[in-house]
Chains A and B, each alone.
Chain A
Amino acid sequence: MSAAASIGPGANNGPATPKRGYSREQWESKLDSVKVSKANLNALVMNYLIIEGYQSAALKFAQEANISSSVALDSIDDRMQIRAAIHGGAIQEAIERINDLNPELLDTNPELHFSLLRMQLIELIRECTASPNGDIQPVLSFATTHLASRAQKNPAFLTDLERTMALLCFPRDNLAPQLAELMDPSLRRQVAARVNEAILEAQGVMREAKMRGLVRLWGWAENALRQEKVDFPSLDLKNIA
C-alpha cells in the first residue's frame, strides 16, 4: 500500500494504472496476513443456521462450539415448518401457520400474501394437469374467490394472475419458458425465502444471512478485480470437500 495515493474513479474507469499481478504464492501469503478470529467465524456460521432455519444443526453447533446464542433457538422451528410446508407445496398449511405465528404479517404485506395465494393456485393447477381428466373446477373457484378481487386493485397482480391461468391452456410438458418457470420448484424456494425474510424482519432480526451477502460480495469483487486487469488466482469454491 503506498502512502502516495492517487485519487480517481478507480474501480470504474480510472486512468490506466500500472498492471499488477500476483503469483499463487504471493497471493496466498497475502491471504495469510488476514486474521480472522474463530469466534467471528462461528458467529457467521451460527447466523446462517439461525436465519435460514437449520435448527438441529444450530443446536448441535451451539453445544460443540460452546456458543451461547442470543436468539432463542426454538423460534427457528416455526419458520422451519412454514418453509417445509411451502417447499412441499402445502401452501394452505403454510398460510395457517404464518397466521398462527404472526396474525398481522400477511395483512401488512399484500405482495407476500398474493405471492403465496398464487403459489397455491399453481399447486392446484399442478394437481389438475397431472392427470388427463383432472377437475378444473377447484382451480377456477380458488382463483375467483381469492385472487380475482386482489388482482383488480393492483395491475401487477393482474398480470401475474393472467400468466398463471394460462398454465391451464397449454400441455404441461411443452410450456413456453416464461410459463415453465412458474411450474419450476425453485419458485417454491423463492416464495419460502421471502416468507422467511418477512417473518424475521417482523421479529426485528436482519433479513438475510450474512454468509449470503459475503458470497455475493466475493463474486462481485472477483469480477471487479478481473476487470481491472489485475492478475491473481481465483478462489475455487467448486471443489470444497
Chain B
Amino acid sequence: MASFLQVPATKGHTSSFTTVVAPGLADRPANEYFVPKYLASTCYADCVANSAVAAQLVSKRAAQATGSPGLSVASSRSPLGLFDGQTTPQLYSYSDLSKPSPLPPGLPGFQAFDLQESSLAGAEDVPPHLPSCWSPEGVSQSMEIFGDMLEVKFAGPPAKGNEQEAAAVRANHPIPPQCGLFYFEVEVMSRGKDGYAFLLPRTSTDAFERDDPIVNERSFIGVGFCGPKVQLNKMPGWVSDSWGYHGDDGNTFACQNSGKQYGPTFSTNDVIGCGVNFRNGTAFYTKNGIALETAFKDLKGTLYPAVGMRTIGEHIRANFGQREFAFDIESYMREEKAKTYKQIHTFQPPLELLGGKESASADTAITQSIHKLISSYLAHNGYVDSVRAFLGDVQKETNAFSATKGVPCGDVDTEESEIAEDVEAINRQKIRTAVLEGNINRALKLTELFFPKVFEDNPEILFQLKCRKFVELMRSCGLAKESEYIDDDEMQDISKQDEDTDMLDGETPAKPNLADLLNEALRYGQKLHESYRNKTFLSSTTDVQKALNDIFALMAYPDPINSPVAYLLAEEGRAPVAEDLNSAILVSQGKSSVAPLERLIQHTTMLMRELAEQGGQSAFVNVRHDFLAP
C-alpha cells in the first residue's frame, strides 16, 4: 500500500481544476439533468435522453412544418457555465442526441439536458435526478455548506463528552439504481483542528502501515452513504441504514458502531472515492485514484451519498461528476458493461419467441427474424427498390446452398422470397420521391389519387405540405435569382420591379421567369394565409400562426437564399415532411405508423427499463447508446 503517502502526486491532478467555479448547482431548475460521462452508456442515460427527445418533439414538430431543422432546446442556452467560458461543455441537442461528440482529452465529461417537464408524457415517466450536490435540507446544524453546494465545513460546536456525537450531510438526491453504478469523490481540504499526524514506530504490524510510512495522518472524517431517515448527528456507518469509511482508523462501518479493518487512514489532500454498484449491491472505495477492495455487500434501501465529521475546521469538497475524477471510473464501467453483455451473449433465445422452426438453430432463427424486420422496415418506408434488392440478395444467398447436389435445404427459408410486390408500398414510394424532389404539387395529387382519405383524416399533414409548397416556391425564386448574373444595382432594380412583372420577360427564355415565380409564390402565400389565418388544430402541437410567420419571413428578403432565414429553404427539410406524410398514409390505411423494427427497439428499451428499475445488470445496457449510435 504505497499509495498511502502519495498525496502530493495526486494533488497536482485535482488542483488543475481548482479554478473551475460551478455556478450555484442548487439553484438550477429541477428540469435540468446532468449526466456524467461515465454514465453515458447506462439505462439511466437512455431514460434521460429519451425524455429530452420527448420534450423537444414539440419544438421539432413546429419546426418541421416550416422545414427548419429540429432546433435544440438544450443548445440554445448554456445551462452549464462550469468552465469559466474557456471551454464549451458538451450538450445534447436533438439532432445529434445519440452521438455526443467525444470530449477533448482532460476535460470533464458532462451532458446536459433541459427538459420541459410540462411537455412530458406523464409525471411518473420523468427520470429521477442523480445526486449532484449537498442538500441544505439534509445537513447537521454544526456544518456549513458552501462553494456551489459542494464544500462542507465543520463549524461547531465540537462534539463534546459523547464520543458518538458527530455531524453528517447527505446529497440532494438518492442514487437512482438505473444508473447501475454511482461514483463520487470527496477531497479532504483540511483535516481540522483535531485531526493529527504522528510518528509510528517502525515495528507496527498494521497491514497498511508496515512498509514505509513513519508519519501517519488521520482525520475524523467519514465518507459513505445512508438512507433518507438517518439522523444527521452520527458518522455514516455508526447507525442502522448507513455505511461509511472513516479517516481516523481506516475502518469501514456498516450499520453499527463497531468497525472492520479495511484500508488506510486518510487526511488533508487525500481524495476518497466511493462507488455503489447496483449489479450486485456492493460498494467499494478508492484512495487517491487507486481502488480498494469491496467494502460492503447486500446493500439495500434508498441511498444518499453522505459525509460525516467530528472536529472543528474539517473541510471537504465533493465531486459528483462535475470535475474529472482521480479514479478511472470509466474503465471500471466498461468492465461492468462487458460482464453484462457476456451474459446476454451466451443466452439462447427460446425459439418460440423468434417464431423459428423446430429444427432451426437459434442463430438461423435470429437471421430469419432480422430479414423480416429489414424487409418490413424498407417496405414501411416505401423503399421499394431496396426491398426488391434485399430479397434478391437473400435469394442469391439461399441459391448458393441449393446449387450443390446432395445438400438438403431444410433450413432454408423460402417464405421471404414469396413476399408479394406491395402496390401500396410502391404508391407510397412515388409520393415520397415527389416530396424529396420538392415537387409538392405532384405529391398532393398522388396522395389524393391513391389515398383520398389521408387529408380528411389528417388536415395537419395537408397544412404541412402546403407550407412546404410555399417554401419550394420561394426556393425556386431564390434559385432563379442566383442563376442570373445580377450585380448589386440590378438587384435593387429587380426588387423595385417586383410588381412590374414584365420587365424580365424574354431576357432569359430558357430559365423560369423570376417575376412570374415571385408572383406565384406571393399569390400562393396569400391564399395560404387566407385559409389558415384563424385555424388551429385541436389535437396537435403545431402552432399554425408561428409556422406561417416563419415561412412568410422568406418574403422579407430580396435574396432569400443568402438571408438569415435561408435554412428554411434547405433540401433537408423535405425528408421530415416525406416521413410524416408516409406515416399519415399508413395510419389512414389502418396500419401502424411504426415499423416492426422500431417497435422492437421500443419494446426492448422498455423491457430494459423495467428490469433496471431495481438496479441489477440491466442498468448497464443503454439500447440507444449501444445499438443505435452510428
Contact = CB atoms under 8 A, between A and B. Distances in A.
Interface of A: 1-12, 14-15, 17, 20, 27, 29-41, 43-45, 48-49, 54-57, 59-61, 63-66, 83-84, 87-89, 126-127, 130, 184-186, 188-190, 193, 209-225, 228, 230, 232, 234-241
Given A35-B57, A235-B603, 17 more contacts: A1-B609, A6-B177, A7-B278, A10-B611, A10-B615, A33-B50, A59-B389, A64-B385, A84-B400, A87-B400, A89-B407, A184-B411, A185-B409, A217-B608, A221-B608, A221-B618, A225-B607
A237 B355 contact: yes
Nearest to A5: B177
A7 B627 contact: no
Given A31-B599, A89-B407, A225-B611, A234 B349 contact: no
Contacts of A234: 353
B611 A214 contact: no
Contacts of B616: 9-12, 14
Contacts of B407: 89, 126, 185
A33 B278 contact: no
A4 B302 contact: yes
16 contacts: A7-B303, A9-B616, A33-B125, A34-B605, A45-B378, A54-B393, A61-B390, A64-B386, A88-B401, A211-B370, A212-B366, A213-B627, A219-B347, A219-B353, A219-B354, A222-B353
Contacts of B613: 1, 5, 10
Contact of B386 (A40, A60, A185, A211): A60
A104 B350 CA distance: 38
B300 interface: yes
Interface in B10-59: 47, 50, 53-54, 57
A17 B174 contact: no
A45 B610 contact: no
Report, nearest first, the 3 A-B pairs whose CB atoms are least far apart. A219-B349, A238-B355, A11-B616
B495 interface: no
Contact of A224 (B396, B611, B629): B611
B389 A88 contact: no
A34 B126 contact: no
B615 A48 contact: no
A20 to B, nearest CB: 7
A14 B386 contact: no
Size bracket of the B interface:
35 or more
A8 B353 contact: no
Contact of B397 (A2, A87, A239): A87
B504 interface: no
B610 A225 contact: yes
Contacts of A230: 610
B408 interface: yes
A235 B278 contact: no
A39 to B, nearest CB: 8
Given A1-B124, A225-B607, A37 B98 contact: yes
A217 B623 contact: yes
Contacts, number: 297
Contacts of B173: 3
Contacts of B383: 60-61, 64-65
Given A8-B281, A10-B614, A1 B178 contact: yes
A240 B376 contact: yes
Nearest to B382: A64
Contact of B401 (A10, A188, A223): A188
A7 B276 contact: yes
B101 to A, nearest CB: 16
Most chain A CB within a 10 A radius of its CB, from B128, B389, B406, B612: B389
B243 to A, nearest CB: 11
A44 B627 contact: yes
A76 to B, nearest CB: 10
A35 B176 contact: no
Nearest to B122: A33
A45 B597 CA distance: 9
Contacts of B406: 126-127, 130
| B388, B408, B429, B603, most chain A CB atoms within 10 A | B603
B436 interface: yes
Contacts of B628: 36, 40-41, 43-44, 210
B200 interface: no
B379 to A, nearest CB: 8
A11 B618 contact: yes
Contact of B121 (A9, A33, A224): A33
Contacts of B369: 215, 237, 240
Given A10-B614, A221-B618, A216 B53 contact: no
Given A40-B98, A88-B401, A222 B607 contact: yes
Contacts of A44: 597, 627-628
Contacts of A54: 389-390, 393-394
A61 to B, nearest CB: 4
Contacts of B618: 10-11, 221, 224
A231 to B, nearest CB: 11
Contact of B97 (A3, A37, A56, A224): A37
A199 B355 CA distance: 31
B598 A41 contact: yes
Nearest to B576: A38
A54 B386 CA distance: 11
B366 A215 contact: yes
A210 B627 contact: yes
Contacts of B347: 216, 219-220, 223
B604 A221 contact: yes
Nearest to B412: A185
Nearest to B276: A7
Given A1-B47, A33-B125, A11 B596 contact: no
A210 B392 CA distance: 22
Contacts of B377: 41, 45
A216 B392 contact: no
B181 to A, nearest CB: 11
A59 B228 CA distance: 58
A88 B403 contact: yes
Contact of B597 (A41, A126, A212, A223): A41
Contacts of A193: 363
